[in-house]
């Protein structure tokens, strides 16, 4: 039992060493990655009201109270 513990102890200590750094890369104080486009800019030609109307309409159809009561 003690031998098994001695074999598994180094593995348990090294288990946390495999974590990858998840922070973004910063160059000169700014994020050095691709700028993400907004949904309304990509799919609705920068028409924010049309995008908001579509989202609101979709949310209304997902409401179980409205769907269950005809």
Question: Global pTM?
Answer: 0.44
Determine the Cα–Cα distance for residues 44 and 37; give it in Å rounded to an integer: 12
pLDDT mean by block of 10 residues, the chain; 70 residues:
84 74 76 80 88 89 73
Backbone angles phi, psi at 42, to 5 degrees: -80, -50
Quick one: tokens of 17? 């060493």
pLDDT at 70: 61
3-state helix, strand, coil in the chain (%, to 5): 60, 5, 35
Q: What residues does each domain of the chain span? A: 37-70
């Amino acid at each position: 039992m003690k031998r098994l513990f001695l074999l598994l102890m180094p593995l348990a200590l090294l288990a946390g060493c495999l974590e990858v750094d998840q922070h973004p890369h910063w160059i000169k104080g700014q994020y050095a990655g691709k700028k993400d486009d907004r949904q309304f800019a990509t799919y609705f030609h920068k028409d924010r009201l049309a995008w908001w109307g579509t989202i609101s309409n979709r949310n209304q159809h997902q409401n179980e109270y409205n769907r269950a009561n005809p």
